[in-house]
Amino acid sequence: MLKKLSSGYKITSSGLLVALICFFLPWVMQSCGNEPMREYSGLQLAIGSGEGEGYKGNIFVLLSLVAIFVIFFFAIQYTNRGVLATRDTYGVLGTSALVLLILFQQFLTAPSEGVNREVLYGLWGFIVGWLLILIGGVVNLVERNKQR
């Protein structure tokens, strides 16, 4: 299957793997007020911690996981077609740019007053994975323009 992929999808595939693995690693260490610091993985942030804290999850983090599977579906469709389509270029670019913007807005902006937050390696790896997906989308765009 890897031989059938375009150069862009080869880069994107590695980004998908990195992002999927990092989704389950610790993303942030956070405390509010006098509470002790706690680590939260991407999965805990997406669906809630489940420990009666009242945190119901973050829909944007959950959608970033869904987006991984959408891009994976695009890659599978490409292997069946063999020709780069619009969704292989602009779909991958748009999805990855949107996920990166949401991640930066959610986690890399200053936290509220009284909230202590430290970004951990899982989130940095997730961002690197999405940057690879974005680069793969750019490579797909270049390859598609050469095919014309």
pLDDT of residue 113: 72
CATH of the domain at 57: 1.20.140
Q: How far apart are CA 139 and CA 76, in angstroms?
A: 17
Distance CA(87)–CA(144), nearest Å, equals: 11
The domain total for the chain is: 1
Which range marks the domain in which residue 76 is found?
Answer: 2-147
The predicted-structure confidence for 31-68, as pLDDT tens digits, reads as follows 776 777 788 899 988 888 656 555 677 899 999 999 99
Task: Quote the tokens at residue 32.
Answer: 């509010």
Output the pTM of the full model. 0.88
